Amino acid sequence: QQKVQQSPESLIVPEGGMASLNCTSSDRNVDYFWWYRQHSGKSPKMLMSIFSNGEKEEGRFTVHLNKASLHTSLHIRDSQPSDSALYLCAASNMGYKLTFGTGTSLLVDP
Amino acid sequence: GALVYQYPRRTICKSGTSMRMECQAVGFQATSVAWYRQSPQKTFELIALSTVNSAIKYEQNFTQEKFPISHPNLSFSSMTVLNAYLEDRGLYLCGARDRESAETLYFGSGTRLTVL
């Protein structure tokens, strides 16, 4: 059973549009969430991490976290074709072990 | 900046043979190194977690006998896939954690293993 669930599995947004990706952990012990982006044929690169309730913004990327529901979301505004990639959510509980979801494949349509 | 060099990038081995991959942390001290395998279906599986001064912890379905890991210092780790078979194919990634910035896991570029 996958402990980190991501939705949707795939997403298509027009260039300039808003992409919203979701992630939920079923492990009540997690306290840290990460979002990684993986372009085709490349290794994942960390986008943002969050451990406090609320919102964190970096440029066009905004991450929300609701610790009560163990749900995090990533929002990409003004989406660009270069944002097309596999977006991976990962969660950990105090230690160094990250559990990854299966990802959301984002395609930004120019 | 912090970087993780992983090599080789790609490798092909015959069924039943072994191959070794290595990771080098540059610009930071890797207190822990996690080895992952990403399947063709994109699922990430944690193979094992190696923390300095602690025993290497293997996840269920992965063993030291199959995936021996070495983590001799704060900048280097290696893993070998012994007796590789078709089900071992995939992208192997090492992720190293910076002791100063424990929230960040830096990934190497990955080693893509093809088994013939």
Looking at chain B from residue 24 to 43, which residues have their Cβ under 8 Å from any Cβ of chain A?
Answer: 32, 34, 36, 41-43
A102 chain-B contacts, CB cut-off 8 A: 41-44
- Report the chain B residue with the minimal C-alpha distance to residue A100: B44
Q: What are phi and psi of A80, to 5 degrees?
A: -115, 155
- Average of pLDDT values for A94-109? 85
What is the pLDDT at residue B105?
80
What is the pLDDT at residue B41?
74
Residue A59 has pLDDT above 80, yes or no: yes
- Average of pLDDT values for A19-38? 92
Strand order of the β-sheet with B76-81 is B3-7, B19-26, B76-81, B69-73
What is the pLDDT at residue A2?
63
- CA angle, corner B112, sides to B109 and B115, nearest 5? 165
What is the pLDDT at residue B55?
87
B60 HSE (CA, 13 A, CB side): 0
Per-residue pLDDT tens digits for A74-90: 999 999 999 999 999 99
Per-residue pLDDT tens digits for B59-76: 988 999 999 999 989 899
Note whether B104 contacts A99, CB cutoff 8 Å: no
CA distance A100 to chain B (A): 6
CA distance B31 to chain A (A): 10
Q: What stretches in chain B show pLDDT beneath 70?
A: 42, 100-103
Looking at chain A from residue 36 to 75, which residues have their Cβ under 8 Å from any Cβ of chain B?
Answer: 36, 42-46, 49, 51
What is the pLDDT at residue B98?
79
Residue A5 Cα distances to A21, A27, B19, B43, angstroms? 11, 11, 32, 11
How many CB atoms neighbour CB B86 within 10 A?
A: 9
Note whether B34 contacts A96, CB cutoff 8 Å: yes
Note whether B109 contacts A42, CB cutoff 8 Å: yes
What is the pLDDT at residue B103?
66
**First vs last C-alpha separation in chain A:** 36
Confidence class for position A42, pLDDT limits 50, 70, 90: confident
What is the pLDDT at residue A77?
97
